[in-house]
Every structure is written in structure tokens, then in C-alpha cells.
Amino acid sequence: MDELWQHLTAVWVHTKFAILAFAMAMLMSMLRTKHSTGRADIIEAIMCGLLAVGIWSFLEWWSIPQSVAVGIASGIGYFGTHWFGDYVKGKLEKK
């Protein structure tokens, strides 16, 4: 059982900022959709979180401090999915 906890701790140390970026972006997206539509949209929240993790990886590659990259990536994920959603809605309305 001790080996399991050691392994889980090692995984957490290496992935905590990616998990935090995903969770923060997902939470922001769920709160936005809950506020605007009255219900939380889990699909948009997952897209937002995945976009945030991708941006976070890119910012880490640029040697931006991880704690700063989490906030920036979450914000970009939040606004990126909002922009993409509006873009797709606009395209679908034109057809």
C-alpha cells in the first residue's frame, strides 16, 4: 500500500499543474454556462479544460512559471471555447 501512495504522489507532483489548469478552466466554463443558460454544459466545460491543458503545455515549453501558466491557460481556454462556440453558432445560422 505504501508503494501505491508513493506512486500517486509522484504522479501528482508531475501533473498537478495540468490537473489544476483543466479543473480551473472546466469550473469557469461550467459557471458561465450555468449563469447564461440556467444549466451547466459539461461538454463545453471539458473542451475548455482540454484547451487549457494544451495551452498550459505550450506556455511551459516557453519556460513561463507553471503557477502563472495555469491562470493564463485557464483564461485562454475559457475565452477560446466561448469564441469558438459563437463562431460555430454564427456559421450554423448562416446555413
DSSP output for 40-61 = --HHHHHHHHHHHHHHHHHHHH
Q: Is residue 66 part of a domain?
A: yes
Judge residue 3's burial from the number of C-beta atoms within 10 Å of its C-beta, 0-12 exposed, 13-18 middle, 19 or more buried.
Answer: exposed
Residue 90 has pLDDT above 80, yes or no: yes
Q: Is residue 34 part of a domain?
A: yes
Q: Is residue 8 part of a domain?
A: no
Q: Is residue 46 part of a domain?
A: yes
CB under 8 Å to 87, separation ≥6 — which residues? none
Q: 74 lies in which domain range?
A: 14-94
Residue 95 has pLDDT above 70, yes or no: no
Instruction: Report the number of distinct structural domains present in the chain.
Output: 1
Q: Which percentage of the chain shows pLDDT scores above 70?
A: 99
Percentages helix, strand, coil for the chain, rounded to the nearest 5? 90, 0, 10
Q: Is residue 9 part of a domain?
A: no
